[in-house]
Amino acid sequence: MKLTKYTHACVRLEKDGNVLVIDPGAFSEAEEALKGAHAVLITHEHNDHIDSPAVLAALRSNESLVVHAPAGVATALKENSDIAARVHVAEPGSDFQAAGFGIKTFGGQHAVIHHQIPVVANIGYLVDGNVFHPGDSFVVPDGLDVKTLLVPIHAPWSKVGEVLDFVISVRAPKAFPVHDALLNDMGRGLVEGHVTRIGSRYGTTYQSLAPRDSVEV
């Protein structure tokens, strides 16, 4: 399939004429990513992962578009009765089809930022047994081998050592960045240098992508 990265956490996957978008957030080129999409997966409710006005506009302009999201996100979207039937609740430990892609879900909880900040639901999605987007979590999919890992390389809830442990634990042959909009060039070089060097010791080839870059996975 073709994977296109957008700014921060958003990616677009294309296969056999079908288009799946994950986490079109407010930091991303959400409208562009959603153009012509058949399904959207949302990992959690934070606005850097879902640009609600953009998602609602896409649902209203494209009657074939469906959304899968954790219960809180789905409930909020379903308040718009005209699109409610095309919004589905995603729960951890489930399997379903979305726009011709096979989806498995993992996790259930956003990583802790601080004990005074409430923890929200978070779903990690494995697409076609290939691409894993963890959202804001370092949950490791169990019972299978991930081929392509999307790595949250920088976040308020993580440190570099945890990013490296995540890459080492999953041991996917390929890895690409997500959750990187808050990094400047110096910070990106530092983090990606560690991920590239240490990931390679465990069989992972890491490749940096800029917004709108595409690769075949």
| Mean pLDDT for the stretch of residues 25-30 | 98
Which pLDDT band holds residue 148 (cuts at 50, 70, 90)? very high
**Average pLDDT over all residues of the chain:** 97
Residues 6+ apart with CB under 8 A from 4: 11, 12, 13, 14, 33, 212, 213, 214
- Nearest alpha-carbon partner for 38 in 5, 66, 75: 66
Which pLDDT band holds residue 157 (cuts at 50, 70, 90)? very high
Q: What per-residue confidence (pLDDT) applies to 169?
A: 97
Which pLDDT band holds residue 195 (cuts at 50, 70, 90)? very high
Q: What per-residue confidence (pLDDT) applies to 71?
A: 97
- DSSP 8-class letter at 214: E
Taking the C-alpha atoms of residue 36 and residue 58, their distance in angstroms, rounded to an integer, is 9
Write out pLDDT tens, residues 92-123.
Answer: 999 999 999 999 999 999 999 999 999 999 99
Write out pLDDT tens, residues 6-20.
Answer: 999 999 999 999 999
Q: What per-residue confidence (pLDDT) applies to 42?
A: 98
